[in-house]
Amino acid sequence: MKIKILLASTALAAGVAFAGAAQAGEVNVMSWGGAYTKSQVEAYHKPWMAKTGNKVNSIDSPNPATPIKAQVEAGNVTIDVADVEFSDAVRLCDEGLLERIDASKLPAAPDGTSAAKDFIDGALTDCAVANIVWSTIYAYDSSKVKGSAPTTMADFFNTKKYPGKRGLRKTAKANLEMALIADGVATGDVYKLLNTDGGVARAFKKLDSIKNDVVWWEAGAQAPQLLADGEVVMTTAYNGRIFGAAVGEGKPFVVVWDGQILDFDLFVIPKGAPNKELAMDFIRFSTGTKALADQASWISYGPARKSSGAMVGLYKDGKTKMAPHMPTAAANLKTALVNNFEFWADHDTELNEKFNAWLAKN
């Protein structure tokens, strides 16, 4: 009898193991590459794979929002999860290109606070769940800048006082805002002006002043590389990329927080994703309190949950405190501009057409 019971138990265990193996699957997760994706791999991908037995295929893109529309409209969706900027999440959702995400299914905070109350205001939408708060800043190579250090957005545009090439992302967003800030516009008035033809013209006129000195970048990893290679003396960049180069690699790069543009990055599921349920499970895990705090130990992007803040400690080097390097640190917020997500959802196409026409002019 004992032998039969043992055999039955063994068979049952084998059946459970086989069922578990049969349920294991794969998700294709598209993100921005470089130090940012590295932080996601360490904090999200590896722990989720270890917990579930599933596999994450990590795919890099200069902008993960770009292929979603084409894939959905072609009925050939290969992306299960994409990490996108807020304005893209809003636009893609409005166009019916994303799956809806039920925030009530997201994990509560450790103290039981619901996800809806635990996430920072604005971090949850009908189709997206934020994971980080980040910013576009500018940074300079301290070994190349002589005299007094640049401290304002106006300094970035001042090539007489600070000679040398400038790096800019090849897009309208952030460049137009920063141009107006450099031209003396208060952050509270930036989007009021950009809603007018005169304001847009003023921004392009300011960009004209440095156009001949610009080296354009598209992928996030390119900005710190331009500094490292000496191709530019200053560049706009994602704050975490400069942190990774300065603290992680010992580069002589300094972040200037004046006029930083705050933004969210969010996880979305393209409409018709082949592994929708696994994708949702990945998002639930990756936007839990601990996972978001763990990511912040790899790169200086603030977690999108309030409950994660207290868990953010030291960088992976075991000595650098992460809090002062976050875009949300009090000292860094004094002149910050929060990206107007609705503005860019409505005007992205129009302003990028104007931007591309401006680029084409001699």
Contact predicate 93/126, CB 8 Å:
yes
pLDDT, residue 121, reads 84
Please state, in angstroms and rounded to a whole number, the distance separating the CA atoms of residues 264 and 107: 19
pLDDT, residue 23, reads 54
Contact predicate 177/190, CB 8 Å:
yes
Kindly list the distances between the CA atom of residue 349 and the CA atoms of 87, 182, 353, in Å, as whole numbers in the listed order. 11, 24, 6
Please state, in angstroms and rounded to a whole number, the distance separating the CA atoms of residues 206 and 201: 9
Q: Does residue 184 sit within a domain?
A: yes
Q: Does residue 316 sit within a domain?
A: no
Please state, in angstroms and rounded to a whole number, the distance separating the CA atoms of residues 225 and 77: 32
pLDDT, residue 4, reads 34
Residues 212 and 149 in one domain: yes
What are the average pLDDT values for consecutive 10-residue runs of the chain, which has 362 residues? Answer: 35 38 79 94 98 98 95 97 95 96 96 94 94 96 94 98 97 98 97 98 98 96 97 97 95 97 96 98 98 94 91 90 89 91 92 97 83
pLDDT, residue 323, reads 87
**pLDDT digit string (tens) for 63-94?**
999 999 999 999 999 999 999 999 999 999 99
Residue 42 belongs to a domain with what CATH number?
Answer: 3.40.190.10
Q: Does residue 1 sit within a domain?
A: no
Residues 146 and 254 in one domain: yes
Residues 38 and 63 in one domain: yes
Residues 350 and 289 in one domain: no
Q: Does residue 244 sit within a domain?
A: yes
**Domain assignment of residue 290, given as a range:** 25-133+265-311
Contact predicate 282/29, CB 8 Å:
yes
Three-state SS string over the chain comes to CHHHHHHHHHHHHHHHHHHHHHHCCEEEEEECCHHHHHHHHHHHHHHHHHHHCCEEEEEECCCCCHHHHHHHHHCCCCCCEEEEEHHHHHHHHHCCCECCCCHHHCCCCCCCCCHHHHECCCCECCCEEEEEEEEEEEEEECCCCCCCCCCCHHHHCCCCCCCCCEEEECCCCCHHHHHHHHCCCCHHHHHHHHCCHHHHHHHHHHHHCCHHHEEEECCCCHHHHHHHCCCCCEEEEEHHHHHHHHHHHCCCEEEEEEEEEEEEEEEECECCCCCHHHHHHHHHHHCCHHHHHHHCCCCCCEECEHHHHHHCCECCCCCCECHHHCCCCHHHCCCCEECCHHHHHHHHHHHHHHHHHHHHCC
Contact predicate 336/314, CB 8 Å:
no
Q: Does residue 6 sit within a domain?
A: no
Q: Does residue 71 sit within a domain?
A: yes
Q: Does residue 56 sit within a domain?
A: yes
Residues 208 and 335 in one domain: yes
And the tokens for 353? 């057409």
Residues 80 and 182 in one domain: no
Please state, in angstroms and rounded to a whole number, the distance separating the CA atoms of residues 190 and 178: 9
Residues 194 and 335 in one domain: yes
Residues 248 and 285 in one domain: no
pLDDT, residue 98, reads 98
Q: Does residue 16 sit within a domain?
A: no
Contact predicate 118/109, CB 8 Å:
yes
Please state, in angstroms and rounded to a whole number, the distance separating the CA atoms of residues 43 and 234: 31
Residues 106 and 168 in one domain: no
Residues 221 and 270 in one domain: no
Domain count, the chain: 2
| 102 phi/psi in degrees, rounded to 5 | -85, 110
Residues 118 and 182 in one domain: no
Kindly list the distances between the CA atom of residue 324 and the CA atoms of 193, 243, 320, in Å, as whole numbers in the listed order. 32, 11, 9
Count CA atoms closer than 13 A to 266's CA, side-chain side.
28
And the tokens for 345? 């959802």
Residues 257 and 330 in one domain: yes
